[in-house]
Amino acid sequence: MRLRGRKGIREDIERQKELVVMNAKDHKGKWAELFGNNNPIHAELGMGKGRFISEMSKKYPHINFIGVDMYDELIRKASEKAKVAHEIQSEEETESGFNIPNLKFMLFNIEHIEEAFADGELERVYLNFSDPWPKKKHARRRLTHPGFVEKYKQILNANGEIHLKTDSQSLFEFSLNSFADMGLRMRNISLNLHVDGIHPDHVMTEYETKFAGQGMNIHRCEVVIGQDALAAHLDQLSKPAAE
Ligand SMILES: C[S@@+](CC[C@H](N)C(=O)[O-])C[C@H]1O[C@@H](n2cnc3c(N)ncnc32)[C@H](O)[C@@H]1O
């Protein structure tokens, strides 16, 4: 078997011009143009092998999805998964790969996320099983550190939300404290998301499948960021709870 080296993988993903965005900074403020519509844009930051974002894009065709990761190999794996999830036939593939109208993969380092998106360009950020960086001296690298959350606040729109899932209790505690310290409103907090079994409508990530399969608790919460999202949330709270 011929093993493809790093160069081969880079060539593979560079060829996939329809699906893979290598020059994200060039699209800052122009992602709607790239998708060809003004539908909301949801991004998974640190998508890994891309199962979640591919399945979400299939399930919700009127939302544009962007999967972000910094490793060539993961972008390539994600593009293979997207092809299978969207049942793309070989004859649909051209020199520049295949097109899924509401899905893009972006090779990028999240540390500079504000250089890829203009203010208010995204509606939702998904942080699924982000690296927990357990050592205190690495706290700034956690994707829920206030330094990162400030950037998400900037690029999210009036309906903006952050949705977080993790198996890591320490990252979850850190994240809740980080959101609370920033005065952000959280909702639907769960310490054991799959306590009653995995709901058939729930879209799983690769890590979630692995950890839930090992019997580990999955923690989840939503952070309400945008003004309109907050107003809708407060309005909902003001209504009497259904019996
Ligand atoms: C633990 S994996 C989780 C993957 C996937 N979300 C899941 O739940 O199966 C974390 C991912 O985040 C990516 N990642 C971590 N830090 C990143 C950064 N600064 N920029 C881009 N990707 C990053 C890693 O490459 C890895 O694929």
Predicted local distance difference test score (pLDDT) of residue 74: 97
Residue 25 in any domain: the answer is yes
Q: Is 4 part of any domain?
A: no
Q: How far, in Å, CA of 169 to CA of 149, rounded?
A: 19
pTM above threshold 0.85: yes
CA pair distance 219, 210, nearest whole angstrom: 14
pLDDT on residue 1: 41
On the question of pLDDT at 175 being above 80, the answer is yes
- Residue tagged active-site, from 26, 131, 181, 228: 131
Residue 68 lies in a domain: yes
Owner of token pair 């794996």: 77
Q: pLDDT higher for 31 or 95?
A: 31
Q: Is residue 155 part of a domain?
A: yes
Minimum-distance ligand 1 atom for the alpha carbon of 208: 8
Which residue has the least CA distance to atom 14 on ligand 1?
46
Confidence of residue 13 (pLDDT cuts 50, 70, 90): very high
- pLDDT mean over 59-80: 97
- Say yes or no to pLDDT of 77 above 50: yes
How would residue 167 be classed by pLDDT, with cut points 50, 70 and 90?
Answer: very high
Is 207 labelled a binding residue?
Answer: yes
Domain that holds residue 39: 9-238
Q: Within a domain: residue 166?
A: yes
Residue 98 has pLDDT above 50, yes or no: yes
* Ligand 1 centroid – CA 69 distance (Å): 6
The answer to whether position 3 is within a domain reads no
The reported pLDDT for the residue numbered 4 is: 59
The verdict on residue 77 lying in a domain is yes
CATH of the domain at 83: 3.40.50.150
Whether residue 1 lies inside any domain: the answer is no
Active site residue 131: yes
Which atom of ligand 1 sits closest to the CA of residue 207?
9
Torsion of the alpha carbons at 85, 14, 73 and 91, rounded to the nearest 10: 30
Please count the structural domains in the chain: 1
Q: How confident is the model at residue 240 (pLDDT cuts 50, 70, 90)?
A: confident
What whole-number distance in Å separates Cα of residue 45 and Cα of residue 60?
18
Least confident of 88-97, 130-139, 219-228: 88-97
